[in-house]
Structure 1
Amino acid sequence: MDFTITPEVEDYRARIARFVEDEILPVEADRSNWNEHENIAEHALTPLREKAKAECLWALQVPREDGGAGLPFTTLALLYEEMNRSIFGPVVFHGAAPDDGNMRLMSQAASEAQKARWLAPVVEGKVRSAFVMTEPHPGGGSDPGMMLTTAKKVGENYVVRGRKWFITGAEDAQHFILVARTSDDPRRGLTAFLHSANEPGFRIERRIRIMGPEEHGGHCELVYEDMELPADRVLMGEGFGLKLTQTRLGPARLTHCMRWLGLSKRCMEIAKEYAANRYGFGVRLADRESIQIKLGDLAMGIEVGRLLVMKAAWEIERGQFAKKEISMAKIHVANLLHKAADVAIQINGARGYSQDTVLEWIYRYARQARLVDGADEVHQMVLNRHFNDADRDFWKWAVS
Structure 2
Amino acid sequence: MDYRISRQIDRYRARISRFVETHLLPLEGNPANYDTHENIRFDLAEELRAKARAEGLWCLQLRSENGGQGLGRVGMAVCYEAMNRSIFGPVVFNAAAPDDGNMMLLEAVGTPEQRTRWLEPIASGRVRSSFAMTEPMPGGGSDPSMIRTTAQRRGNTYVITGRKWFITGADGAQHFIVVARTSDDPRRGLTAFLFDRNDPGWRVERRIPIMGPEEHGGHCELVFEGLEVPAENMLLSEGDGLKVTQIRLGTARLTHCMRWLGLAKRCLEIAGSYAAERSAFGARLADRESIQMLLGRLAMDIEIGRLLVMKAAWALDQGSFARKETSMAKIHVANLLHNAADGAIQVNGARGYSKDTVAEWIYRYARQARLVDGADEVHMMVLNKLLNAEGPDFWSWPVAES
1:184 Cα deviation after fit? 0.8
1:29 Cα deviation after fit? 2.2
Partner of 2:93: 93
Letter in 2 for 1:163: R
CA distance in 1 between counterparts of 2:290 and 2:248 reads 42
Partner of 1:392: 392
Letter in 2 for 1:171: D
Partner of 2:69: 69
CA distance in 2 between counterparts of 1:348 and 1:113 reads 53
Partner of 2:128: 128
Deviation sequence 1:174-222 (CA, Å, 0-9, x none):
0000100001111111111000111111000000000000000000000
Letter in 2 for 1:271: A
CA distance in 1 between counterparts of 2:273 and 2:63 reads 39
Could you say what secondary structure the match of 1:209 adopts?
A: coil
Deviation sequence 1:214-272 (CA, Å, 0-9, x none):
00000000000011111111111111110010001011000000000000000000000
Partner of 1:372: 372
1:356 Cα deviation after fit? 0.4
Partner of 1:177: 177
Q: Is this contact kept in 1: 2:151–2:180, CA < 8 A?
A: yes
Deviation sequence 1:32-52 (CA, Å, 0-9, x none):
110000000022111110010
CA distance in 2 between counterparts of 1:328 and 1:316 reads 14
Deviation sequence 1:63-91 (CA, Å, 0-9, x none):
11111111111111000000000001000
CA distance in 1 between counterparts of 2:117 and 2:139 reads 30
CA distance in 1 between counterparts of 2:355 and 2:274 reads 15
Partner of 2:361: 361
1:129 Cα deviation after fit? 0.1
CA distance in 2 between counterparts of 1:137 and 1:258 reads 31
CA distance in 2 between counterparts of 1:43 and 1:206 reads 23
CA distance in 2 between counterparts of 1:131 and 1:350 reads 39
CA distance in 1 between counterparts of 2:172 and 2:256 reads 20
Could you say what secondary structure the match of 1:167 adopts?
A: strand
Q: Is this contact kept in 1: 2:9–2:71, CA < 8 A?
A: no
Partner of 1:300: 300
Partner of 1:114: 114
1:114 Cα deviation after fit? 1.1
Partner of 1:218: 218
CA distance in 2 between counterparts of 1:337 and 1:156 reads 47
Q: Is this contact kept in 1: 2:253–2:326, CA < 8 A?
A: yes
In angstroms, what is the RMSD of aligned CA positions?
A: 0.6
Partner of 1:35: 35
Q: Post-superposition, which runs of at least 4 consecutive aligned residues in structure 1 deviate over 2 A?
A: none
Q: 1:1-400, aligned counterparts within 5 Å?
A: 1-400=1-400
Give me the TM-score of the superposition, normalised by structure 2. Answer: 0.99
Give me the TM-score of the superposition, normalised by structure 1. Answer: 0.99
Deviation sequence 1:259-305 (CA, Å, 0-9, x none):
00000000000000000000101110000000000000000000000
CA distance in 1 between counterparts of 2:112 and 2:126 reads 19
Letter in 2 for 1:57: L
Letter in 2 for 1:44: L
Contiguous gaps of at least 5 residues in structure 1: none
CA distance in 1 between counterparts of 2:200 and 2:72 reads 39
Could you say what secondary structure the match of 1:29 adopts?
A: coil
Contiguous gaps of at least 5 residues in structure 2: none
Letter in 2 for 1:331: I
